[in-house]
Chain A
Amino acid sequence: MTIPAHAGGTAFIQLLPTHIYTVGAAVTVALSFVLVLFVPARALVRLPALRMRIATIPARAHHATAVSLASLAVVVALIAAGSAGSRDPYDNPLPLFVWTVWWIGFTYLHAVFGNLWAVVNPWRGAWSALTRGPLAAWRARPPLRYPDWAASWPAALGFALFAWFELIHPAPMDGAILARAVAAYAAVHLVATILFGPAWLARAETFSVFFRTIAAVSPFARGERRTIHVTAPTAKLLDAPALPASRVVFVLLVLASVSFDGLSRTFAWLTLIGENPLAYPGRTALMRVNTLGLAGLFAALAVAYVVAVALGRMLGGVREPVGALVRTFALALVPIVCGYHFAHYLPVFLVDVQWAVRAVSDPFARGWNLFGTRDLHVVTSIVSDASRVYVVWHAQVALIVLAHVAGVVVAHGLAGRIDARPRALVIGQLPLLLLMIGYTTLGLWLLSTPAVG
């Protein structure tokens, strides 16, 4: 090897006393547990009811249909751009839209503003339009009934495939490959939505489930008669119903995948799998071992979570069955999922969203300048200049800590919902608290340890 790995932004992080940050973060999460004990669990349970109506949506159903149809048109245009546009992944709007604007950016928007995907998904409009016209009979009674036993398992399977494509496939940024993947995904779910009706979107479509899950931390909620309410962030989780098993798996998969994205780049992981991190062998060579790693991390996380809940039940003397507790406390993982997503992707988002703004001006590489942004200079010093790297890194640390504190608070509220005795609330919560402290530590370690690219 002649050209070695670039020193990169992580080199600056190595100069920080990161162990002090890690200890501080763990202590903060532990302290938040102590503090929240002073808040009566019943008060927390009532928190979601403390909401304020702030607006009424002026739009009607046909507006939503129009938005969704426009979204479908955008998807078709992006698929065309992916196939026929630039071969440079940073010049083609499809990879930038999918991986940056949508997967990262839309998730950010959902955590802040609530479930936008319910309206902008590209399938609901087509279903509405078709069942208002030629397929009117299917509106009340779709030709196929979505089986209850399927729950959200198709969504979980879909997410596993998506995560594998993102993290392990050799070229997820390749416009042509991605165009085929997006086209296949859109087509499958369009057909399924028409056949099963909106139940398919509610339960089986991966990103309808994903964005709805993320939207639970948003302070905004839809009320009756098109009203919008505002409440405390994550408060909606406190009165949310326990998740079905398939969605518990879904939440754990999301958390495992984002964690593995960080882990798989660390020197520690590469050393473990016998690779020299300074001579990173490329994604193709690591497909098999990283597939095992992703699956292994999911399994380890799932086992740790279930054991923590079961142990807490035992220590707290809670009577509810373990399964019910596992399905309830998974809600407390949702803020952590959001925090990891925010923190993990922040640097790449800040840079790549600029490429997206640039690429959208000339989606088909025809020399167009539709929005006047074609020659925008992408500022990359966000990830290479020490002072900027430090700002971003501190923001990431704050997000991880905040997310875990929110997780602790939500878990306390959920515990109070099940069993408000002090033993259940204090001793019964300790194993889950330890898991969250552990995950905070892991999160900070992932942000701090030497990593490639």
Chain B
Amino acid sequence: MSISRRTFLGAGTVLTLGAQFPGSWTRHAAAQGSPGPIRLGFQVHRTGIGAVYGRWYERTTNAAVKLINGKGGIGGRPIEIVAEDDGTDPKRGAEVVEKLATQHKVDLIFGTLFSHVVIASAPRAGQLKIPYLVVSEGYHVASGKLNRYVFQPGITDVRAQVTAVAPWILKNLGKKVTMIFPDYAFGHDHRDFFSRVATSQGGTISALIPIPPTETSFTKYFPRVPADTEVLYHVMVGPGVLTFVKEMGEHYGSKRPKIFGFVDSLEGVDLASPGLAFLEGTYFWEAFPRYAAANTPAHVKTFRERVGVNDNGASVNDPKDVSTFSHMFGCWETLHVIKAVVEKSGYRKAGEYRGFIETLEGFQSFPEGLEHPQGAKKFNGKLHQVYGHQFISKVEKRRLDVVHRTAIEDSMYPPEGDYTKQPL
């Protein structure tokens, strides 16, 4: 794995330099029988349908490891990444977890994104009793349905995202909402979470319009949007997205309701792409603003530089290659959470996880900064889920400009589980 190799070599340089100074960590540790590098298993969607996300997760991980190792590693130990491709295949996901734990003997595992892979892999991590830190955005961790060893400390979940933006939508865009969503679990999460919050806060759902996942033309669905609709909430995904937007434009023309979407629909896609002109003036949820602005904090600029992303959220070396900006920061923040927990808990070696898990469960917040560039976080140790700010952006001149940042508390919902009651 190039990232393990390079980052490890980078750390090696640090160690070599360190060795020239008396009392440095290397000598000290060597005298005590150094535990060597901390080996982190990276379950990555290198191939399969998650490959676009996987590529950026890898780049972000690479950059975070380089940064951490450049500053002396974790508790003086350099990070060594051991990556395994799971093909975005749930069955292989479980095999990868086992392989990382038993063959590669990593200290812990992180990085899984696609929900069905997380759901298939998490039980294996629980059986093997190895911490499994996912970067998935799914509600599955906070739902309480996984196990004590599974955490999501670097990215917020979809329920929190929807919960956070709902009040702003009702207050600023309108109270009568029609939802257009793909008719399967992803769309159902939006339908259920948003409907629940909206109706409890004085909004009404004018209509729910599920679209079959195999649909390629959407013109017949728009007439079903009630005329009194004030807000059209859309979360279409897949290869039909551009067609959906184009046909929505053809249906409405200039007279349209307010329109709100989730950037998940267009992660990795240039807003200036053909077919997307109708989005001008509409709103999107973003986890982390893709486009840099005048008030972008210094640590976010550093994050962009380190990962190799320009002010448009695209690759510095390939400016037409748009990143998955609203997701990939999760790897960076997860690695910094691992660093904080290992250093605080005194974790030393694989198998001895009680301290690591209880320490992570004891964390209540993470401050905004280079370690957490997306913003400050609150951590719920019982749910194993982190909560943070959400961003609402408006499409202006084929870019996304942030118009609102929610408070962390806006995203909180009543807990449905408590992992700390499960035995270790």
Q: Which A residues form the contact surface with B (CB < 8 A)? A: 1-8, 10-15, 86-91, 170-171, 173-174, 267-268, 270-271, 276-285, 362, 365-367, 374, 377-381, 384-386, 388, 450-453
Contact = CB atoms under 8 A, between A and B. Distances in A.
A398 B216 CA distance: 25
A6 B246 CA distance: 18
B182 A278 contact: yes
B6 A377 contact: no
List the 5 shortest-distance A-B pairs measured between CB atoms, nearest first: A282-B89, A381-B320, A4-B237, A385-B320, A377-B317
B397 interface: no
Given A171-B92, A278-B184, 5 more contacts: A5-B238, A6-B53, A267-B239, A277-B238, A367-B6
Contact of B274 (A12, A89, A450): A12
Given A11-B269, A277-B214, A282 B91 contact: yes
B241 interface: yes
B9 A8 contact: no
Given A267-B214, A284-B92, A385-B270, A89 B321 contact: no
Contacts of B254: none
Given A5-B237, A7-B239, A386-B274, A88 B185 contact: no
Given A7-B265, A10-B239, A278 B213 contact: yes
B115 A282 contact: no
Contacts of A366: 5
Contacts of A174: 85
B90 A281 contact: yes
B65 to A, nearest CB: 14
B84 A453 contact: no
A93 B157 CA distance: 37
A355 to B, nearest CB: 10
B318 A4 contact: no
Contacts of A453: 48-49, 51
Contacts of A381: 315, 318-321
Given A171-B87, A285-B91, A450-B239, A280 B1 contact: no
Nearest to A382: B320
Interface of A, secondary structure class, is loop
Given A2-B136, A14-B242, A14-B243, A88 B91 contact: no
Interface in B28-81: 44, 46-53, 55, 58
B295 interface: no
B20 interface: no
A2 B276 CA distance: 23
Contacts of A6: 49, 52-53, 267-268
Given A284-B91, A379-B321, A279 B242 contact: no
Interface in B160-192: 182, 184-186, 189
Interface in B1-41: 1-6, 9
B36 to A, nearest CB: 17
Contacts of B320: 381, 384-385, 388
Given A6-B53, A450-B216, A283 B5 contact: no
Contact of A3 (B136, B213, B216): B136
A81 to B, nearest CB: 13
Contacts of A2: 114-115, 136-140, 157-158, 186, 189
B266 interface: yes
A14 B85 CA distance: 30
Contacts of B182: 4, 278
Nearest to A92: B1
Given A88-B85, A367-B5, A384-B268, A1 B186 contact: yes
A370 B108 CA distance: 33
B52 A86 contact: no
Contacts of A170: 87, 89, 91-92
Contacts of B115: 1-3
B377 to A, nearest CB: 18
Given A4-B186, A12-B273, A379 B240 contact: no
Contacts of B265: 7
Interface of B: 1-6, 9, 44, 46-53, 55, 58, 82-85, 87-92, 113-117, 136-140, 157-158, 182, 184-186, 189, 213-214, 216, 237-243, 246, 264-270, 273-275, 315, 317-322, 327
19 contacts: A1-B114, A5-B237, A5-B239, A11-B241, A15-B274, A86-B5, A88-B2, A88-B58, A88-B85, A91-B1, A173-B87, A277-B213, A279-B185, A281-B89, A282-B116, A283-B48, A285-B91, A379-B321, A385-B321
B53 A276 contact: no
B5 A362 contact: yes
A91 B82 CA distance: 13
Contact of A279 (B213, B264, B270): B213
Chain B CB within 10 Å, residue with most, of A7, A89, A380: A7
A269 to B, nearest CB: 11
A8 B52 CA distance: 9
A450 B214 CA distance: 9
B184 A7 contact: no
A280 B48 contact: yes
A7 B241 contact: yes
A129 B315 CA distance: 51
A276 B318 contact: no
A7 B237 contact: yes
Contacts of B216: 14, 267, 450
Contacts of B184: 1, 276, 278-279
Chain B CB within 10 Å, residue with most, of A4, A284, A378: A4
Given A89-B47, A282-B91, A284-B91, A380 B321 contact: yes
Contacts of B138: 1-3
Given A173-B47, A384-B321, A3 B327 contact: yes
Chain B CB within 10 Å, residue with most, of A13, A268, A270, A284: A284
A362 B214 contact: no
A87 B84 contact: yes
Contacts of A378: 318
B2 A282 contact: no
A65 to B, nearest CB: 36
B159 to A, nearest CB: 10
Contact of B269 (A7, A13, A268, A452): A7
Contacts of A91: 1-2
A282 B87 contact: yes
A279 B274 contact: no
A233 B157 CA distance: 57
Contacts of A15: 242-243, 246, 274-275
Nearest to B94: A284
Contacts of A282: 48, 87-92, 116-117
A11 B91 contact: no
Contacts of B158: 2
A91 B6 CA distance: 12
B185 A3 contact: no
A279 B185 CA distance: 9
A382 to B, nearest CB: 9
Contacts of B87: 170-171, 173, 282-283
A170 B5 CA distance: 26
Chain B CB within 10 Å, residue with most, of A12, A282, A377: A282
B1 A7 contact: no
Contact of A365 (B5, B139, B274): B5
Contacts of B49: 5-6, 280, 452-453
A194 to B, nearest CB: 36
B91 A380 contact: no
Contacts of A379: 317-318, 321
B268 A7 contact: yes
B89 A87 contact: no
